[in-house]
Amino acid sequence: MDSILIIYTGGTIGMVRDDETGALMSFDFNSLLNEIPEIKKFECNIDSVSFDEPIDSSNMQPENWLTIAQLIFDNYKAHDGFVVLHGSDTMAYTASALSFLLENLSKPVILTGSQLPIGDVRTDAKENLLTAIEIASSTKNGKAIVPEVAIYFEYDLYRGNRSTKSNAEDFEAFTSPNYPVLAQAGVSLKFNHSAIYKTNNKQLKLNSFLNNNIATIKLYPGISEQQIFSIINIPDLRAIVLETFGAGNASTQIWFIDLLIKAIKKDIVILNISQCEGGSVEQGKYETSSAFNKIGVISGKDMTYEAAITKLMYLLGTDLSIQEIKVWLQKPLRGEVTF
């Protein structure tokens, strides 16, 4: 019989509404069966573990990602799949980070949450959790159907490092702008097998160090020289995610290019991603991005912002050289970028 481990980190899905004040508060996770008795109907063993102090996903930090990854690693042999309950606001960051921290993953790690607390009459928590468990326990010929880190939300399963939260009010909170859904939940689960990550059958490896000395520069018309100067001179800065216009375009003003050159000469990695949700950076397609290729700015192609940030944290935490990091930024490690 399959065994699934539920890891509760916090978030709306594990909250109830105070009848007197209307405020949301965490409840005893062991009371989950009282809220969702349908869990008992699954033909698999379900265990659970909770953070000692559940946290709102807005407070999620890289050290928390490492804690989740360690929990999965420590329980990997004893369980066939994992469901991580998480607040939706930073879920795409956590999913992206876990995909890089858990190397050679061959079992499902499904993140889910909800827009409404589990005790509300119209809550989306029950369906999200029940279907996430079903996906985590789904096998074919004795092997997991979804052996990767994914997000399940409102009838769709997304690759974790291709996802982004795009709506704060709708139950359909997530999108995957540049990659197809991995599965859809209707009367039955319909898996998109061609889109699901293929495992290499190697032993799971836990990567346990992240370097978050990263800054973001989101370009806008009128951004000042002093702003860029201040950012590239942050002490110990290792990388910059440059959010550019359209297909990777930016100002061609001399001061701007000169500052980027100074940063690159200081071995600061500059990764160019688009401010647009859909589409890809194509450096050199227009004159306004041609200079990037010449000075050594790295194209992030069609990576999400969340994947770009967490991939940089992961690569900077390894012993790879700057040049090796630049090479791997342009290649898929866990299916996070189109190659």
DSSP states along 276-322: SSSS---TTSSHHHHHHHHHTPEE-TT--HHHHHHHHHHHHTSS--H
Dist. CA 260–CA 256, nearest whole Å: 6
Q: Which region holds residue 222: left if phi is over 0, alpha if psi is between -120 and 50, else beta?
A: left
The pLDDT score that the predictor gives to residue 105 is: 97
Asked whether 36 and 130 are in contact (CB, 8 A), the reply is yes
pLDDT computed for residue 30 by the predictor: 63
What residues are annotated to the active site? 12
C-alpha–C-alpha distance, residues 164 and 162, integer Å: 7
Is 124 in contact with 152 (CB distance < 8 Å)?
A: no
Regarding the domain delimited by 3-206, which CATH topology (the fold level of the hierarchy) does it fall under? Rossmann fold (3.40.50)
Strands 149-153 and 109-112: parallel
Distance, CA of 224 to CA of 238 (rounded, Å): 22
How do strand 81-85 and strand 143-144 relate by DSSP bridges? unpaired
**Secondary element (H or E) of residue 132:** helix 125-136
Assigned token pair, 229: 């100067």
Residues 311, 336: contact at Cβ < 8 Å? yes
Domain ranges in the chain with CATH number 3.40.50.40:
214-329
Question: What pLDDT sits at residue 26?
Answer: 63
Q: What pLDDT was estimated at residue 147? A: 97
| Residues 6+ away with beta carbon under 8 Å from 44 | 1, 2, 3, 4, 80, 133, 137
Question: Strands 102-103 and 205-206: what pairing?
Answer: antiparallel
In the predicted model, residues of the chain with pLDDT beneath 70 are 1, 14-19, 22-33, 119, 121
The DSSP bridge pattern shows strands 81-85 and 109-112 to be: parallel
Strand partners, 153: 156
Q: What phi-psi label fits residue 258: left (phi over 0), alpha (psi between -120 and 50 degrees) or beta?
A: alpha
In the chain, CATH 3.40.50.1170 covers: 3-206
Which residue spans within the chain are E strands per DSSP?
Answer: 3-8, 15-17, 24-26, 45-50, 81-85, 102-103, 109-112, 139-140, 143-144, 149-153, 156-159, 164-165, 174-175, 183-185, 189-191, 205-206, 214-218, 239-244, 269-274, 298-299
Domain 214-329 CATH assignment equals 3.90.1560.10: no
DSSP letter at 199 equals P
pLDDT of residue 308: 98
Strands 15-17 and 24-26: antiparallel
Residue type (1 letter), 133: I
Query: What is the rounded distance in angstroms from the CA atom of residue 99 to the CA atom of residue 97?
Result: 5
